[in-house]
Amino acid sequence: MVIFSVYVVNKAGGLIYQYDNYVPRAEAEKTFSYPLDFVLKHHDEKVVVSFGQRDGIRGIKFIVLADPRQSGIDALLRKIYEIYSDFALKNPFYSLEMPIRCELFDQNLKGALEIAEKAGNFGAGS
């Protein structure tokens, strides 16, 4: 269990996707009330321009909580963005900024996490 959680936050700060991979000890509030421009170890989507409203500029933030010994997190974040654009954005039934409820997104995300855990785990305990 070395990748603990994945969260996706939209431009307004609302949580649109959450995946947890650990035994939760307490229910913490899942609202982010301040703009997260950077998080621990900069988990940021590659936003090209952060000001101005143009289509193509999303302001979506991807957050991954993982063991510090886990390597390859940058690649994992990029992969999650790819999966997001393949299964959420190209899905005609999904509207932007809304919670992500696409099965294929879930499946592919879990697959990518498994691959990352197996590939990136050097000497990590459980």
Partner 1 sequence: MTVHNLYIFDRNGSCLFYNEWNRKKQAGISKEEEFKLMYGMLFSIRSFVSKMSPLDMKDGFLSFQTSKYRLHYYETPSGLRFVMNTDLSVPNGRDTLQSIYSNLYVEYIVKNPVCVLGHSLDSELFSSRLDSFIRGLPFYSPRAA
User: Of 20 and 82, which CB lies nearer to partner 1 in the complex structure?
Assistant: 20
Tokens representing residue 117 in the block: 């855990």
Q: Would you say the C-alpha torsion 114, 116, 119, 124 has a positive or negative sign?
A: negative
User: Of 39 and 100, which CB lies nearer to partner 1 in the complex structure?
Assistant: 39
φ, ψ for residue 8, nearest 5 deg: -125, 125
Binding-site size, partner 1 (CB under 8 A)? 15
Query: What is d(CA 98, CA 17) in angstroms, rounded to the nearest whole number?
Result: 9
User: Of 16 and 102, which CB lies nearer to partner 1 in the complex structure?
Assistant: 16
Lay out the site mask for partner 1 across 49-78 (x = CB under 8 A, - = otherwise).
----------------x-------------
Q: How far is CA 79 from CA 8, 25, 105, in A?
A: 13, 29, 12
Choice from 12, 22, 35, 97 touching partner 1 (CB under 8 A): 22
Task: Kindly list the residues in this chain that would bind partner 1 in the complex (CB under 8 A).
Answer: 4-5, 20, 22, 24-25, 28-29, 34, 38-42, 65
